[in-house]
Amino acid sequence: MAPILYLVFFLSGAAALLFETLWFHQASLAFGSSVWASSLVLSSFMCGLALGNLLAGRFATRLRQPVVAYAVLEGVIALTGFALVLGLPTVGKALAPVLGALEAAPWAQNLSRLGFGFVLLLVPATAMGATLPLLVGVLEARDANFGAVLGRLYGWNTWGAVCGALAAELFLVAWLGVRFSAVVAASANLLAAVGAAWVARQPGAAVPAETASQPTATGARVWPLCLAAFGAGLVLLALEVVWFRFLTLFVAGTSLAFAAMLASVLAGIASGGLLAGAWLGRRPDAHRHVSLLAWGAGAWVGLGYLIFPLVSAPFAEGIVHGWLAVLWLTAALSFPVAAASGALFAMLGAKLRVVSPSAPRAAGWLTFWNTAGAGLGSLLGGFVLLPGLGIEPALFVLALAYGGVALACVFGATEAPRLSRLAAVGAVVWLGAALVFPHGVLRDHHLQRSVARVAAGDAYEVVAVREGRTETAVWLRHFLEGEPYADTLVTNNYSMSGTNWGGQRYMKLFTWWPVALHPDMRDALLISYGVGSTAESLIDTRALERIDVVDISEDILELSDLRFPDPAKHPLRDPRVEVHIEDGRYFLETTDRRFDLITGEPPPPKMAGVVNLYTREYFALVRSRLRPGGINTYWLPVHSLGAEDAKAIVRAYCEAFPDCSLWGGHGFSWMLIGSHDGLPPATEAAFARQWQDPVVGPELRHHGIERPEQMGALFLADADQLLDWTRDTPPLTDDHPKRLSDEAAPWPVDPLFDAWIEASGARERFAQSPFIEAVWPAALRERTLGYFAVQDQFNERAGGRLPTLDTPARLQRLEGLLATTDVEVPVYWILGTTVQEVATYARRAARGRRADPRRQALHDTARAYAARDYLGAALALSRAQRQQPRNPALVYLRVHALLRAGQADAARDVAQQAAAWLPSRDADRRVWSWFGERFGFDAPFDASETGQP
């Protein structure tokens, strides 16, 4: 009978973690993914568990057939758990008007979420909490060693939880979706119920009802044990929060990674429970060493952190993606602590049983206090320790807190309080670990390693670090020749947003594109703030009367002060702006307002919880919150996606927005664009008004959209083309979030994405698009076709694929731009620099600081070429040649500049002076041949015989 019950409880643990995973996914749809919402739902769940612990401890002794009661509870969990998975999103929609009315009073809104969450989770969570006290009484009736029974039950149940956590993330949700995964969880509960019912029919399954009896020791001995159980749960769950935050400095923040972290901790707890059960089975009085486990857990908190640099060294070059690697890193940090905690649970139960009138009562007390502590510990870690102290001090404090748990174990002894010799050794080790705790290693090593990966060889400075409730945010400043160049916001280990030229270009296009097409834009909503580039473009748009900004992180919004120290220029200080600290989807669900523009650049889709902002249901919600004629622009970061990932998102978007279209931004940061009910044709005058605006116009030109025609050259595909591309790919939906894989994106990017931005193909799709014909100003359409070649320069530069300067291909591109357009920015790119770099060097020169002469000459050349000052370019190239006298590219450029200026004789002199050393490679001969074809320029020597072969 006992093996069957252990198997039953294993199934119950697997179902519990599977249900918990599904509930939290569905609750994030109902109540949002903000740290407040997720913490309140977790608290509701823990309160339900604790209530079940308490009720079972109080009433289980009155049951003659506890196994039957257990089977009924498993059935209740199956039915209510499955109903909750199906019903949570619907309930969330029904409650949205009520919760939305409380937006002005966040405390009331969060209290309401806590209340609703508690009510919804009450029945299944309470039933889960009651199961352990029921079964432990049944098994103790056949094995009087309570501690051994408790350890085995707890261990097998937790191993089931490990399997449930991993199964959900690795294959169940991917194969079956959320709702059918709930069927699997319910089936596991029902199978456990059937197994328990079979056991209940066996002879001897009934347990005589017990009557209350007096404890064998005074309350002065009981309460310290309850306090120890409370403290053990509190410290471990707080540690789990802190560990996970620490690990996100190294690990990809996907839901699978978090499941692997959780599974690693649970595996430690399960192992500890089983080992304690085995120890107590051999030595029933082993619980007298219980304080040893607390001392040991506290010691390893510090020692595990001390050795972590060695453990993580093999992964120093990149972000850890594989779930087995995540398991290993988490285990190195946490497994001994978790194992000690699992054993501590069983040992404390054995001690409590000595002073308890019954096994269910002892298990009920133990689980109630441990669960209550765990619920408080998760809140303490996320809301107090991390934002108040930071990762490293929090680990130190929690390591010390285990000393308090150990002392509570000592004073909860049934005999006079004293330390066993073994426990005394543990206390000494704990004290030694506290003394060698590596203070400062986070700042000096771990954070530096994380941001150095983002800096990618740039000179940089860490300007600010915020260890907040939602993330560890680092504001990184990059330097060029000692001059501030750009800033990057790094959250955990990911470069979330930045002020580099390319980043600002695509983020501001989220505003510029819709303003060009919308005839009368008044209200805008921005979801996710980042470093404020999109918000800056919104406040620059004077027609907007109200701008709402929604972001989940208060810390990220506050870090914006570093970029905008002047309040007059700060987007969040603009009187038209209203800020909401909330999950973007939840805000849309609860607001009754409608907008002319909804734009968003949430974190990358594969990060945990962010998938909710890329599903078909979410995009349909966005469309429903647009006014007639309203426009949505949305970030599609294909650089962080595989081809099938991108197709699933695009399919979801196009099923929500029938007029969907896809546009380039910068490199592989693209834009999805859709409208509420279609767009009217735009006039050329209305389309071009931004270029005449005294604020927006210079910004457009600075970011390489110098003429209205260039906006159209960003086109990649319209709805018909996108639906054809994705016809064999099912959409990303709330029920199938794993259609977005957890795999790292390939780099270089999938060749399919290269094909989409290839200029000739995009130009052809633009010319044939019914969408473009319907909405684009007719006079612009034909003129736009010539600017796809210009856009090609941006695409190739962003992808690092421009040919070298000493080849005909690059000279031909430069000549094509100069001969057929008046654009300036692509000229900088072709010549190997950017507008941002040139401006940085100009600021340096204005302060009288000397720059690298070679770089300065390059920038002077690019500035002159962009202004079509060819003699100025030739002069700058002459200065550059003094620094690099035998650089063929400089000779070719100088000859080209002189020919452009009509100075053929001077060009011939430059070529003649370099003839002695110029190489005679095929590429070089093609350069001279091209000069002859384009300018009628004959080299004053035989190009096939220059220099050395």
- How much is the average pLDDT of 603-618? 93
User: Can you tell me the distance from the alpha carbon of 344 to that of 170, in angstroms, rounded to the nearest whole number?
Assistant: 31
Q: How confident is the model at residue 361 (pLDDT cuts 50, 70, 90)?
A: confident
- The pLDDT of residue 416 is above 60: no
Task: State how far the Cα of 94 lies from the Cα of 898, in Å rounded to an integer.
Answer: 73
CA distances from 734 to 382, 579, 609, 649, 753 (A): 27, 27, 11, 12, 26
Question: Are residues 453 and 318 in contact, defined by beta-carbon separation less than 8 angstroms?
Answer: yes
Instruction: Name the 3-class secondary structure at 526.
Output: strand
CA distance 801 to 804: 9
8 A C-beta contact, residue 148 and residue 280:
yes
| Contact (Cβ atoms closer than 8 angstroms) between residue 399 and residue 265 | no
Q: How far apart are CA 423 and CA 292, in angstroms?
A: 4
Token duo for residue 279: 């120890």
**CA–CA dist 129, 57 (Å, integer):** 10
Do you know the residue count of the chain?
A: 949
Pairwise CA distance, residues 548 & 886, whole Å: 57
Contact yes or no for 280/153 (Cβ under 8 A) = no
Q: What is the pTM of this model?
A: 0.92
What is the band of 415 on the pLDDT scale with cuts at 50, 70, 90?
low
Q: With bands split at pLDDT 50, 70 and 90, how would you rate the model's confidence at 297?
A: very high
Q: Mind giving me the DSSP string for 676-709? A: SS--PPPPHHHHTHHHHSTTHHHHHHHTT--SHH
Backbone φ/ψ region at 642: left (φ over 0), alpha (ψ -120 to 50), beta = beta
Owner of token pair 């002060």: 561
pLDDT digits (tens, 9 = 90+) for 617-643: 999 999 999 999 999 999 999 989 999
> Is there a contact between 151 and 274 (Cβ–Cβ < 8 Å)?
yes
pLDDT digits (tens, 9 = 90+) for 107-151: 787 788 778 888 888 899 999 999 999 888 888 877 788 889 999
Alpha carbon distance 796, 813 (integer Å): 11
Backbone angles phi, psi at 550, to 5 degrees: -120, 125
Top mean pLDDT of 35-44, 342-351, 357-366 is at 342-351
Q: Between 459 and 724, name the one with better pLDDT.
A: 724
Using one digit for the tens of pLDDT, what is the confidence trace for 655-690? 999 999 999 998 899 999 999 999 999 999 999 999
CB neighbourhood size of 624 (10 A) = 11
Indicate if the pLDDT at residue 807 is higher than 70.
no
C-alpha radius of gyration, the chain, whole number: 33
User: Under DSSP, is residue 488 helix (H, G, I), strand (E, B) or coil?
Assistant: strand
> 94 pLDDT band (50/70/90 cuts)?
confident
